[in-house]
């Protein structure tokens, strides 16, 4: 079983925002993620922009989660930025620190994100649907039709809700 932790990545130097370096951070996280998975079976997800910040979700096996030092194990991201980006980030070192990693409690999701699936679940759904689309058998076609029906029902429900229907408190008609 994996324990999910959400980590905000910031530069130690306030002159640069992590969001401005998200492409390099993503490359660094990909490299660090391979290392973490091969050593500890820790799953490092794709860093995502969330309200102008860079946030990454980490899946840590429950057996090691209690003693897993996140900052220490994510230093591979900093190392990559310092070694593989042609000195671009050297001037942002504060002492020997380039990045800060802050754990964000999963309950502290902003109002716009409440009720949403975690990004990893969304990406897995996209991959699964894409794989269904690539298949040519009857079972896949039936599943695709069912998914499209659900999406159509959802679209119709969204239209009703946007027009003030369904428990909106608006009284319509004569009375």
Say what the pLDDT of residue 174 is. 44
Q: Which among 16, 23, 18 has a CA at the least distance from the CA of 7?
A: 18
Is this structure's pTM higher than 0.75?
Answer: no
pLDDT on residue 127: 80
Q: Using CA atoms of 154, 142, 130, 54 in order, give the dihedral in degrees to the nearest 10.
A: 30
Q: Which CA distances in Å does 106 have to 22, 109, 114, 143? A: 22, 6, 10, 33
pLDDT given at position 168: 41
Say what the pLDDT of residue 123 is: 73
Please report the pLDDT score of residue 41 as a whole number: 93
Buried b (16+ CB within 10 A) or exposed e, 37-53: eeeeebbbbebbebeeb
**CA 58 – CA 104 distance, rounded (Å):** 11
* Whole-number pLDDT of residue 23: 94
Predicted pLDDT at 164: 60
Per-residue pLDDT of the chain (175 residues; tens, 9 = 90+): 889 999 999 999 999 999 999 999 999 999 999 999 999 999 999 999 988 899 999 999 999 998 999 988 999 999 999 999 999 999 999 999 999 999 998 765 444 455 566 766 777 788 888 888 998 899 989 999 999 988 888 887 777 666 665 444 444 444 4
């Amino acid at each position: 079983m994996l324990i999910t932790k959400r980590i905000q990545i910031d530069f130690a130097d306030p002159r640069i925002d992590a969001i401005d370096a998200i492409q390099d951070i993503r490359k660094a996280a990909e490299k660090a993620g391979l290392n973490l998975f091969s050593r500890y079976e820790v799953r490092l997800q794709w860093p995502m922009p969330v309200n102008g910040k860079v946030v990454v979700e980490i899946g840590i096996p429950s057996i090691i989660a209690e003693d897993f030092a996140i900052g220490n194990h994510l230093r591979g991201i900093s190392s990559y930025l310092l070694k593989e980006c042609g000195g671009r980030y050297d001037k942002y070192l504060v002492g020997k620190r380039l990045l800060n990693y802050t754990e964000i409690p999963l309950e502290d999701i902003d109002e716009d994100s409440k009720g949403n699936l975690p990004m990893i679940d969304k990406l897995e759904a996209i991959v699964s649907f894409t794989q269904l689309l690539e298949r040519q058998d009857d079972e896949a076609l039936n599943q695709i039709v069912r998914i499209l029906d659900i999406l159509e029902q959802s679209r119709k429900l969204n239209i009703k809700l946007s027009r003030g229907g369904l428990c909106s408190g608006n009284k319509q008609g004569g009375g």
